[in-house]
Amino acid sequence: MGNNNYKPKEFAELIGVSVKTLQRWDNDSKLKAYRTPTNRRYYTYEQYLKYIGKTNIEDKRKVVIYTRVSTSNQKDDLKNQVDFLRQYANAESIKTK
C-alpha cells in the first residue's frame, strides 16, 4: 500500500485499539475501512488525523532548498543545482516561491 495507508493491525496499534474493535467499528459504520480490490481493509492517514481530532490542519512547515558551490567560477553549476531542485519540487508537488 502507499505511504499514507495502513493495514488494520498497523492502524489498530497506531490508535490503541484491537483489530477486532476496528472490524466492529467498520461493521457499525463508526470508522469505515477502505477496501482494496481484493476486499482487504485498509485505513488512511487522513482517517488517523480525523480520529485524533486534527482535521483540516494547515501544514505551516516551509521547505527550504539549499544549494552551494565552492568558487565563483561554478556559477553555472549553482544555476543547474537550483533548476534541478525546482524541477524536483515541482514533480513532487512541493510548493515553492
Is the CB of residue 4 less than 8 Å from the CB of residue 46? yes
For the chain, list the strands marked E by DSSP: 5-6, 34-35, 41-44
CA distance 38 to 7: 13
pLDDT of 46-74, one tens digit each? Answer: 899 889 887 655 666 777 888 999 999 99
Q: How far apart are CA 20 and CA 60, in angstroms?
A: 36
18, 29, 70, 72: which is the annotated catalytic residue?
Answer: 70
Please indicate, yes or no, whether the overall pTM of this predicted structure exceeds 0.85: no
Q: Would you say residue 2 has pLDDT above 50?
A: no
Tell me the residue length of the chain. 97
Catalytic site includes residue 93:
no
pLDDT in tens, 16-57: 999 999 999 999 999 999 999 999 999 998 899 889 887 655
CA 47 to chain centroid, in Å, comes to 12
